[in-house]
Amino acid sequence: MATGKGEQPSAASDQLQPLRDLYGCGPVEITGTRDALYERHLTFDHVVDVNRATDRQQFESAARSIRDVLSQRWLRTEQTYAAVNPKRVYYLSMEFLLGRSFANNVMNALLHPAVIDMARQKGLDVMALTEMEPDAGLGNGGLGRLAACFIESMATLQIPGMGYGLRYEYGIFRQSLQDGWQVEQPDNWLRRPDPWEVARIDEAVEVRLNCSFELQAGALKPVFGRPSILLGIPFDRPVIGYGGKTINTLRLWAAGTPDYFNFQRFSRGDFVGAFAESLGAESLTRVLYPDDSTSMGQGLRFLQEYFLVACALSDLIRRFRSGNSDWNVLPEKVAIQLNDTHPALAVPELMRILVDDAGLGWDRAWDLTQRTLAYTNHTLLPEALEKWPLAWFEAVVPRHLDIILEINRRLLGVVRSRWPVNDGRAERISLVEEGEHRKIRMANLAVVGSHSTNGVAAIHSRLLRSTTLRDLAELYPDRFNNKTNGVTPRRWLLTCNPGLARVISEAIGAGWVTDLRQLGRLKPLAGDPSFLDAVFKAKREAKVRFANWLKSTTGEHVDPDTMLDCQIKRIHEYKRQLLNALHIVVLYNRLRDSRNMEFPPRTFIFAGKAAPAYTLAKLIIKFINNLAGTVNADPAVGGRLKVLFLPDYRVSLAEYLIPASDVSEQISTAGYEASGTSNMKFMMNGALTVGTRDGATIEMAEEAGEENFFLFGLSAGEVADSRGWYDPRWHYAHEPETKRALDLIASDYFSRNEPGAFRPICDVLLKRDFYMHLADLKSYGETHEKVGRLYADQKGWAAKAAINIASSGNFSSDRTINEYAGQIWRVTPCPVP
């Protein structure tokens, strides 16, 4: 984002100013040395005149000074853990969607008063400076963002937790739009040095593979039958708990080679070939796979997953061994949480370590493995369940295949003796999917090799047990449990919405920041006009802030006096951006008829990336953009309807937009969204939800009361029951507005210069409509009419917004992490003195 100094409203320091008096920190005294840190970094790292430093140099130096101030506390945290030897949690995840770190690190370390003073003294524009930090986009969507919220909550709760992930050189692609089509660009986020990370070359680990790699014609090619050793090089990032007492570590691994080049090839004169292997190996952690809710089955991804597991286990076992001599205490000292099946190779890897390296017998190793590992499932979608070709295990990690097959032999023995009648159960539970190309079922492996399998919202955990993992749930009924997701209120309320945070703290004190349940104390104030007025003003302030930011970064105009209605999430058929778009076509038709004049002016905002290989999702983006082009340019609409597709959805965009939004669209086909987490972010920022009874939205509505929610549409049970007979053409034939909307799209009204462009969308909706858009369109429209009527009543709207904020206390990731800690990990806090 190109944002020069001075382009930003200089209100930045004023927005942070009130926080100084709150949150009990008071102005932090800036000592002589601290004060000089920033200048020292400019002078000695950048060798630049303090007065001529660029915004980026200012950012790097400011961030490095923050890290300097925290380093001793960070060290002390690890020293405490080493001395106390508590049980530690390791969170293994292929994704950590961190976003920016500056504002949150400053806030959590309670250094904001110091930063504000420093900025004032030195004439720095804090806003311009924070805009210099690229998002760390090391994830696709909800799953990766959950991992980021979880490690922050662990640090805040003083739990000895560590995140393990990969240091992708390229994160999730940057999205731009050309003629309304998504165009992907590489996200070279490490082009400039990252000020937060610390390379720990001395703590590198070796990863042994039964194959090696070469770069051939620019592509990474495995060479089978030639064993090789990769280096895993750890890069540590501080994870600062709120209050700055505990600073945990996120350890991201980069792939390298022990030998930088092949001497034989080099001395033969093959100078390029001499580096082929190391270049190949280093490519392993080059890029994040951009698929959300689908498993694309690429070989490099399989290697990435094994690389993460091998590095993490080698590292944590080394740490365990340095403090414990008895292997039997492993489950009392180590808890490993697998974020989805991506790190499920931890099952055979831990078995290999215990059996081959430690020399334990099979039964003892198996008991320790199961008691150490736990698995979180994130989806019921069959296309998301990972299955890897058995042949790849054979080629890359043959010992792990042996172990998996032995686990399977014993597993099937148990199943067959418990259910002697062959009803296909053993085949379904088997870790191996038979067929011409045999495959390993990673979800089955994860369930069988761990003591806990959890879903991420009540309905999801229930469906997991009754459908997707039914046979395994019958085999291990006690293993299955629910942990409803949450989000960290430090990033998603305190830091991103300073206006509302102030209003809340003025009403009930600042305790909510670490105990979000306290928001419940706002409930009686939902009838207090002065409180509602303050909530309304905070919303208005956030809308203006968002509009200014959008204008200065993209040139796009949003009117803060319109209702902001947002659907921001990955583009996927099950999330039903198309339902939202169809409804906009319906509204547009009504406006063209000049009906419905009491309609409050609305801005519909979409944002989200589509997986590059997901053709229909990319066409949906194109459709929304064409719809926007037509609607926004039509004088008949008269400013009452505006549609925007904001490119490059990412954490920092969400942080600007969510505080500003009035309506949150959570409209997945019931039974398909495991939990959702943006629904929670919107709720705590005072948006009202239009949603289906799906994922955590169900629990949110229970907390707030359905009368304060806009629920609509088929339930998960109704969706499942109507699968056999559902026919979208019935709705087309019997609902005039549905027919008119679809006919308008089919007539190329939105694709005048691209005839037939949206034919596939009409086909999907009318021929099968697997996600049942047409079934829900009518009740969705009726619900939006209620939304419009309530919005016209400013007081009534503010009261419902206040009740939603007051009812969002359960959806803090602190609550979620407390449940994991108590029920799965059995760990307790380990305060750092």
Kindly indicate which of the ranges 191-199, 321-329, 649-657, 764-772 contains the residues binding ligand PLP, using the contact rule CB under 6 A. 649-657
Q: 734 an active-site residue?
A: no
Q: Which is nearer to ligand PLP, 195 or 608 (CB)?
A: 608
What length is written for the chain?
A: 833
Site string (246-285) toward ligand PLP, x via CB under 6 A = ----------------------------------------
44: left (phi over 0), alpha (psi -120 to 50) or beta: alpha
Cα separation, 189 vs 170, whole angstroms? 6
CB of 741 to ligand PLP, least distance (A): 25
CB of 648 to ligand PLP, least distance (A): 10
Q: Which is nearer to ligand PLP, 319 or 576 (CB)?
A: 576
Kindly indicate which of the ranges 200-208, 594-602, 676-684, 777-785 contains the residues binding ligand PLP, using the contact rule CB under 6 A. 676-684
State CA 370 to chain mean position distance: 27
Q: Which of 142, 449, 489, 713 is in the footprint of ligand PLP by CB under 6 A?
A: 142
Q: 130 an active-site residue?
A: no
By CB under 6 A, the residues from 95 to 114 that bind ligand PLP are 97
Q: Which is nearer to ligand PLP, 352 or 545 (CB)?
A: 545
User: How many Cβ atoms are within 10 Å of 227's Cβ, its own excluded?
Assistant: 9
| Catalytic residue chosen out of the listed positions 156, 376, 488, 677 | 677
Cα separation, 644 vs 608, whole angstroms? 12
659 binds ligand PLP (CB under 6 A): no
Q: Over the Cα atoms of the chain, what is R_g? A: 27
CB of 594 to ligand PLP, least distance (A): 35
Non-local CB neighbours of 658 within 8 Å, separated by 6+ positions: 492, 496, 497, 566, 568, 678, 681, 682, 685, 687
288 binds ligand PLP (CB under 6 A): no
| Residue 471 near residue 419, CB atoms below 8 Å | no
Q: Which of 387, 650, 693, 815 is in the footprint of ligand PLP by CB under 6 A?
A: 650
Alpha-carbon distance values, 730 to 533, 727, 739, 747, 816 (Å): 46, 6, 10, 20, 43
CB of 540 to ligand PLP, least distance (A): 23
Q: Which of 109, 651, 701, 772 is in the footprint of ligand PLP by CB under 6 A?
A: 651
Of residues 70, 138, 67, the one with CA closest to residue 98: 138
Helices (H) and strands (E) counted in the chain, each on its own, are: 34, 23
Q: 301 an active-site residue?
A: no
290 binds ligand PLP (CB under 6 A): no
677 binds ligand PLP (CB under 6 A): yes
Alpha-carbon distance values, 19 to 22, 113, 115, 455, 748 (Å): 5, 8, 12, 37, 53
- 518: tokens are 């306290």
| Catalytic residue chosen out of the listed positions 87, 251, 319, 378 | 378
Amino acid identity at 699 = E
Cα separation, 82 vs 246, whole angstroms? 14
Sole residue written with tokens 């976003």? 99
Cα separation, 752 vs 60, whole angstroms? 49
Size of the site for ligand PLP (CB under 6 A): 13
654 binds ligand PLP (CB under 6 A): yes
| Residue 680 near residue 486, CB atoms below 8 Å | yes
Q: 650 an active-site residue?
A: no
Q: Which is nearer to ligand PLP, 626 or 675 (CB)?
A: 675
Cα separation, 59 vs 168, whole angstroms? 22
Cα separation, 135 vs 653, whole angstroms? 10
Non-local CB neighbours of 279 within 8 Å, separated by 6+ positions: 215
- 213: tokens are 């790699």
| Catalytic residue chosen out of the listed positions 681, 773, 784, 800 | 681
Q: Which is nearer to ligand PLP, 654 or 817 (CB)?
A: 654
- 472: tokens are 């395994």
| Catalytic residue chosen out of the listed positions 400, 570, 784, 800 | 570
Q: Which is nearer to ligand PLP, 543 or 650 (CB)?
A: 650
By CB under 6 A, the residues from 341 to 400 that bind ligand PLP are none
Site string (39-78) toward ligand PLP, x via CB under 6 A = ----------------------------------------
Alpha-carbon distance values, 711 to 571, 639, 642, 662 (Å): 21, 28, 24, 16
Q: Which is nearer to ligand PLP, 451 or 773 (CB)?
A: 773
145 binds ligand PLP (CB under 6 A): yes
Q: 378 an active-site residue?
A: yes
301 binds ligand PLP (CB under 6 A): no
Which is it for strands 174-178 and 181-185: parallel, antiparallel or unpaired?
A: antiparallel
Cα separation, 607 vs 613, whole angstroms? 18
CB of 774 to ligand PLP, least distance (A): 23
- 456: tokens are 């991420």
Q: 677 an active-site residue?
A: yes
678 binds ligand PLP (CB under 6 A): yes
Cα separation, 794 vs 533, whole angstroms? 10
User: How many Cβ atoms are within 10 Å of 122's Cβ, its own excluded?
Assistant: 14
Site string (536-575) toward ligand PLP, x via CB under 6 A = ---------------------------------xx-----
Kindly indicate which of the ranges 20-28, 209-217, 467-475, 672-680 contains the residues binding ligand PLP, using the contact rule CB under 6 A. 672-680
Q: What is the DSSP letter of 670?
A: T
Kindly indicate which of the ranges 544-552, 596-604, 671-679, 704-712 contains the residues binding ligand PLP, using the contact rule CB under 6 A. 671-679
- 553: tokens are 């970064």
Cα separation, 41 vs 56, whole angstroms? 12
Q: Which of 676, 686, 691, 713 is in the footprint of ligand PLP by CB under 6 A?
A: 676
489 binds ligand PLP (CB under 6 A): no
Q: Report, as residue numbers or ranges, the catalytic residues.
A: 378, 569-570, 575, 677, 681
Question: What residues line the site for ligand PLP (CB under 6 A)?
Answer: 97, 141-142, 145, 569-570, 650-651, 654, 676-678, 681
